[in-house]
Amino acid sequence: VTASSREVQEMVAKEGAIEYLTNLLLPKDPKDATIGGSLEGRFEAAGALWSLSKENEETTPGIAEAGAIGRLVKLLHEENPDAQKNAAGALGALAGVGGRKIQELITKEGGIMPLVKLLEPGYIVHVYAATALAELARRYPANQTAVAGKNAIRLLVDLLITPEEEEAAKAA
């Protein structure tokens, strides 16, 4: 709901949801029930942050300042497609509207390599990882070079090859 209404996104952010959602991105702390969330809670929090940041440069700085970016990068490493999708989607949305500062922060937090890994065969979140990488590299030559250096271009091209084309190439 929030992604379609900028006004609602900003109201939700002003009510303190960003800090709460960022806290939920942490793994559950057995010693303190107020810290962290279950895996499902973590990927739902990532999805909510994705929704809050989509096409909204007003909410993006608060999400970054709350510490969500590093936690979203860590969520990319979970072997759960929902967690990977929502984390990649949120990082892509943040990079898309946050400009160079957010692109640099995602890179500094180690976001490129796990996104490239999600392009490999066997992962079902290719489109979200590819979109996030595109946003990280948009108008930022250093990230373009970093993405290219991690074998992302080969993996992206491989995604374009249909199974029929692959069979034809093997037969030739």
By CB atoms closer than 10 A (0-12, 13-18, 19+), residue 145 is exposed
pLDDT in tens, 39-96: 999 999 999 999 999 988 899 999 999 999 999 999 999 999 999 999 999 999 999 9
Q: What's the predicted TM-score (pTM) here? A: 0.88
- Least Cα distance to 97 among 67, 124, 129, 60 occurs for 60
Instruction: Report the SS3 class of residue 135.
Output: helix
Phi-psi region of 55 (alpha: psi -120 to 50; beta: other; left: phi over 0): left
